[in-house]
Structure 1
């Protein structure tokens, strides 16, 4: 899939891309705000500690770097792969889109992903894709459907329109996402309390297949836009066309 294996900002023309499948979401559990915040804080704390260690003692060249950065947030490879076990696991401490006034870009990966999104109080995650997102039946005791709507993908070339399909992860919730290889997606957290627990089931295979020189999330990513857009293009959690109907 990669044109240049180690390129960390490779761009695919959004006019040509068609998703080979669909992402799936599964609402898992809704928690009391204090419990949700405790979980998010504990996991985000692991990421922040790893990044403090990296700043104090940078990883030597040629050694696996576990504290990395991605567009949606800081990441920490909690469990690296090893011989005979291809998968690994990352934690991500989300940036607050509204605070930074920057949205992450629509992108795809060179391998499939399994993601658990977790929010605390006053925080949502807007999940987006160029294809409709399948929302599976919620687990027991989940209240209400996930909010979903479609808008226009921002930043496309002049005269090009692509629908962007969005689902909102509400505060104090866990929602799982299954992302097939090569399927577009975009995460943007609005609020300070959001983390991802992400399993990359075939990361060693991806790295070998694509000819990459090491494990780096940015190198395993292909973006569908050249530039990031302002928060106004991804911070809304309601259908922007709904106001026009009132």
Structure 2
């Protein structure tokens, strides 16, 4: 999938890209604001502590640096793969796109992902893809819905128009997303309290498959835009009540 295995800013041609599948999204639970804030803040603080840890910011005996940075936020590999277990788990503390006036780019990964998105008060996550989301809910079990809408992906090359499919994770909510390998997606948090708990069930496999030299989230990512857009490209929520 990667043209250059260790390139941390590889960009695929947006005009010819087609998703090989769909992201599947499941609303899980909503919480009282104080409960949601406690959970999200506790997880975000783990990521923050890792940024100032000499151990987490230095390659270990397996060459893994557990504190990393991605476009959407700071990342900490809370559980790493080992011989006989090829998955790992990351926590990501989102940047607030309104504070830095930048949106993350649409991208895809060289291996599948399982993502739990978590929001606190006054915070929403806008999720985008170039293919429609499959939103799962079970009557009598699922207690809330997700707002979905479409727009045009901004700043595409001249003559290229791509529909962007969007949904909004509301405040104080847990929402799961299954991301198949190679399927486009982007996350942008509007507000200060947003965290992702992400499991990568192919981590070791994809490193060997792509012939990468190490476990780096940016190297396991392929982007679909050359540059990050300003915040106005990802802060519209489709409805002010979202």
* Smaller-chain TM-score bracket: over 0.9
CA distance in 1 between counterparts of 2:182 and 2:65 reads: 25
Q: What's the RMSD between the two structures over aligned residues?
A: 1.7
CA distance in 1 between counterparts of 2:20 and 2:95 reads: 29
Q: Match of 1:243?
A: none
Q: Match of 1:186?
A: 186
Does structure 1 residue 157 correspond to structure 2 residue 157?
yes
Residues 121-161 of structure 1: CA distance to partner in whole angstroms, max 9, x if unpaired?
Answer: 00000000000011101585654421110000012101110
Q: Match of 2:30?
A: 30
Question: What is the 5 A alignment of 1:47-196?
Answer: 47-54=47-54, 58-60=57-59, 63-137=63-137, 142-196=142-196
Unpaired runs of 5+ in structure 2? none
Unpaired runs of 5+ in structure 1? 241-246
Q: Match of 1:244?
A: none
Q: Does structure 2 retain, via aligned residues, the 8 Å contact 1:123–1:194?
A: yes
Question: What is the 5 A alignment of 1:159-238?
Answer: 159-238=159-238
Q: Match of 2:18?
A: 18
Residues 31-52 of structure 1: CA distance to partner in whole angstroms, max 9, x if unpaired?
Answer: 0000000000000010000001
Residues 8-51 of structure 1: CA distance to partner in whole angstroms, max 9, x if unpaired?
Answer: 00000100100000001000000000000000000001000000
TM-score (norm 1): 0.93
- Shift, 1:53, TM fit: 1.0
CA distance in 1 between counterparts of 2:198 and 2:216 reads: 14
Q: Does structure 2 retain, via aligned residues, the 8 Å contact 1:26–1:138?
A: no
CA distance in 2 between counterparts of 1:175 and 1:228 reads: 25
Q: Does structure 2 retain, via aligned residues, the 8 Å contact 1:29–1:141?
A: no
Residues 217-245 of structure 1: CA distance to partner in whole angstroms, max 9, x if unpaired?
Answer: 000000000010000000111169xxxxx
Q: Match of 1:9?
A: 9
TM-score (norm 2): 0.95
CA distance in 1 between counterparts of 2:226 and 2:106 reads: 10
The 3-state SS of whatever aligns with 2:176 is: strand
How many equivalent pairs are there? Answer: 239
The 3-state SS of whatever aligns with 1:46 is: helix
Instruction: Could you list the structure 1 runs, at least 4 aligned residues long, displaced by more than 3 angstroms after superposition.
Output: 138-144
